[in-house]
Amino acid sequence: MKELTVISGKGGTGKTSVTASIASLAEKRVVIDADVDAANLFLTLEHNLIETEQFQGGYKAEINPELCIGCKECFKRCQFDAIFEEITENIIPKLSKQKDEQIRDNRISPKFAIDPIACEGCGVCVHFCPTGAISFERQICGEKYISITANGPMVHARLGIAEENSGLLVSQLRQRAREMAKEQKIPLIITDGPPGIGCPVIASISNADALLIVTEPALSAIHDMKRVIKLGRQMNAAIYVCINKADLNKEISENIKEFCFDNNIKFAGEIPFDRAVVESMKMGKALVTYSDGAASKAVKEVWENVRLFMGDTMERVF
Amino acid sequence: MIVTVASGKGGTGKTTVAVNLAVTAAEAIRATQLVIAPENPENFVELIDCDVEEPNAHLFVKPQNVVKQEISTMVPAVDMALCTLCEECEKICRFSAITMIAKKIMIFPEMCHSCKGCSMVCPTGAIKESSRVLGSLLTGQSSHGFNLTWGELRVGEAMSPPLIKQVKKTITCRSGRGNSISEDINNKLSIVDAPPGTSCPAVTTLRSSDFALLVAEETPFGLNDLALTVEALKKLGVPMGIVINRADSEQKGIIDDYAEKENIEIMQRVPFSREAAKICSKGLLLVNELPEMKQCFKELYLKIVSRITQNAKESKYKKTFTKTATSSSDNSIVGRS
Amino acid sequence: MKVAVSSSGTNLESPLDPRFGRASYFLIIDTDTLAFEVKVNDQNMNLPQGAGIQAGKIVANCGVDCLITGNCGPKAYNVLQSAGVRVVTGVNGNVKEVVERFKNKEFEYSQGPNVDGHWV
């Protein structure tokens, strides 16, 4: 079984469009959408959802205001500025009417609360709270899906809004995809990676056999591509490059090809700018199934090259 | 005043909008002399690139006199002479960054989130502070009269939010939310270029912004990711407006329908042209090369200013209003930020 | 000699679990008598991160000389190495068969991790 991950560094170069096309061209494969916080592959690959599972992310702390005595222990220790003082003025009038003076005094002392978005889930406040007022639960951060598409399963997910642990989610999707590939004897896993070089990207490319970098002829895209190549090399993956919208700046496209040649990176091809790309997206179809135009032909060629290149990498045991 | 340029989808043109807006704002502020201390106008607009994984603004701004500083985060180091092998550090660590194996303490710096829990629980003070390099913080001056600050994540480092937080600390203007912003507008504008997505890096950047400018493109992917970002901003309570980039025509499209439904203002449409794409690809500024773009960004800048002034008035009103409203109810919580 | 094998079941007929950190069980086996002990690895199955480190610790604490598994990442490898546990990677088959092959000296000890970390 071999694993190919499609990445770019810079966003919007056309990773997902290219992935949808090669996932439609590869005869038998598992495809993963690892861009979990802005997943798009499902929009352009016809599919049938067959399985949904909750995704449990990290832990979050929460203060029970009934038990909080306002000692500031948590506030002083939090390294993430997640704990803040809550204004209690609106509960004072009610409590001051109560006879029990002690309760009232207790309630007037400042209370603390935790901003769940800023909480890192380190549990330090939980450990040091003298009254055990802080609960610590694992959070449901999203959903994982398995769908059926024409050439094999699609493993995708939706990370909750403003949730973290995207790297963990990506690792779980890839683990699931490997299990399915093994069970169903599928020889190839294609992953649509997220932009950037951070945690979900590292999770998308660790242990991948090869990376297909989709870049575009722009200085910013080259800058980003170089950083992602450096990361790919750190992770020991074979690296191939293709240029999307190559004709928007032919001079820069030539420079990219030269760069690949000088750095011993296999060049998989150029895809011209073509309105059919957006039209196919609007129809919810992969470019190669929707159109037979210039871009579609070019993507087919890119896939042929990638297949040839991948033939050189070793077949893995697992 | 902090205006953050964001989008869920990558490559919609956040950086293009941010840099061209910064140049426009710097020029406009000088021209209208809104500034109080005109002898030092470069301090009134600043551009902060928080897309630390793939920062690009400097490619367009081409800053001078760049100062680079290494940014690290705290990770533990153990003084084995003081360690009693009590394993308290391992018990508190949620990230498996510190563990005892065969009477030795092993540390995995790349797993550490710098919560300092281990040093807090260590009974003998055996945990010392060491560091892990996150990346660099860079600052330089644009010839257009503003400063650019950006972060560059070390290739191989997985966690970008700690570096983003360091980059955000350099923002010189205070967030006006809750304060009298209208005065602040005249004084200072910080334009922040956010990373794509809706998870920790984007949210870390967007928190405490006064306004979010969402750059969207008229494709199904663009719409899907725009909607995710809008949800995130609602959760964060940041007011927002939309810029449609590479607009195909003046006609209303899927983004307009969505914006109308969500009651979000479309603040500008930047038309698509191969020429504009080529200018951006070379790392040049649209406002310098195309007069129609200069006009387009000027309009956008003025709209943002008027919108923020209006927001400020409204939030002031809202603040007094909610204060009186909550004091009469028993269980509502104010002060959540 | 005592060895640990990552296993997907609780007896010697079970297939070896190629995952180390997130393996279902570890069988701690005496290679001479084939007597074995089962260590459940359930806390690691759902651990947000650091499964390899925790699994490495479990195996190291069993006092085994060698771990036989499919994939071993760099952090787990480090843990095992500092506990003096040698590692054999890239193995599949059922546990009993694997132990026999180990006794016949069919395997070579790994000089390092054979996969990248999970980075989560």
Domains observed in chain A: 2-46+150-310 (3.40.50.300), 59-138 (3.30.70.20)
Quote the minimal CA–CA distance from A95 to chain C in Å.
42
Residue ranges with strand state E in chain B: 2-6, 45-49, 64-78, 98-101, 104-107, 127-142, 146-153, 189-193, 211-217, 240-247, 265-271
Average pLDDT of chain A, as a whole number: 91
- In order of their start, the domains of chain B are 2-62+143-325 (3.40.50.300), 73-133 (3.30.70.20)
Find the range with the poorest average confidence among A63-67, B61-65, C48-52: C48-52
Q: Of all residues in chain C, what percent carry a pLDDT higher than 90? A: 61
Q: Which of residues 96-115 of B touch C (CB under 8 A)?
A: 96-97, 99, 101-102, 104, 106, 108, 111
Average pLDDT over residues A187-216: 95
User: What chains are in contact with C, requiring at least 3 Cβ pairs below 8 Å?
Assistant: A, B
- In order of their start, the domains of chain C are 2-103 (3.30.420.130)
How many Å apart are CA B27 and CA A280, to the nearest integer?
42
How many Å apart are CA A73 and CA A70, to the nearest integer?
8
DSSP A246: G
The tokens for A118 are: 């800023």
Q: What is the pLDDT of residues B89-99, one digit of tens each?
A: 999 999 989 99
Residue among C110, C108, C66, C71 nearest C90 (CA) = C71
Residue ranges with strand state E in chain A: 2-7, 30-33, 48-63, 83-86, 111-114, 134-149, 152-159, 188-192, 210-215, 238-243, 266-270
HSE of A169 in the Cβ direction (CA atoms, 13 Å)?
A: 34
Quote the minimal CA–CA distance from B96 to chain C in Å.
5
Average pLDDT over residues C52-62: 89
Give the residue with greater pLDDT, B43 vs A278.
A278
Type of residue numbered A215: T
CB contact, 8 Å: C43 with chain A? no
Average pLDDT over residues C92-102: 93
Average pLDDT of chain B, as a whole number: 87
DSSP C23-91: -SEEEEEETTT--EEEEE-HHHHT-SS-HHHHHHHHHHHTT-SEEE-SB--HHHHHHHHHTT-EEE-S-
Note the ipTM here: 0.90
CB contact, 8 Å: C71 with chain A? yes
Q: Are A317 and C92 in contact (CB under 8 A)?
A: yes
Find the range with the poorest average confidence among A141-155, A251-265, B33-47: B33-47
Q: Are strands A210-215 and A238-243 parallel, antiparallel or unpaired?
A: parallel
Q: What is the pLDDT of residues A18-57, one digit of tens each?
A: 999 999 999 999 999 999 999 999 999 999 999 999 999 8
Give the residue with greater pLDDT, B214 vs A182.
B214
HSE of A99 in the Cβ direction (CA atoms, 13 Å)?
A: 0
Give the residue with greater pLDDT, B217 vs A207.
B217
How many Å apart are CA B284 and CA A249, to the nearest integer?
13
Q: What is the pTM of this model?
A: 0.89
Q: Which residue in chain B is spatially nearest to A82 when comparing CA positions?
A: B337
CB contact, 8 Å: B144 with chain A? no
pLDDT at site A102: 47
Average pLDDT over residues B64-81: 96
List chain C residues with CB under 8 Å of B97. Answer: 50
Q: CB-based contacts of B249: which residues, under 8 Å, 6+ apart?
A: none
pLDDT at site B101: 87
HSE of A81 in the Cβ direction (CA atoms, 13 Å)?
A: 6
DSSP A13-74: SSHHHHHHHHHHHSSS-EEEE--TTS--HHHHS--EEEEEEEEEEEEEEEE-TTT-----HH
Asked whether the predicted pLDDT for residue A274 surpasses 70, the reply is yes
Asked whether the predicted pLDDT for residue C46 surpasses 80, the reply is no
List chain C residues with CB under 8 Å of A165. Answer: 48, 120
Per the CB < 8 Å rule, is C82 touching B102?
Answer: yes
Average pLDDT of chain C, as a whole number: 88
Q: What is the pLDDT of residues B188-240, one digit of tens each?
A: 889 999 999 999 999 999 998 999 999 999 999 999 999 999 999 999 999 99
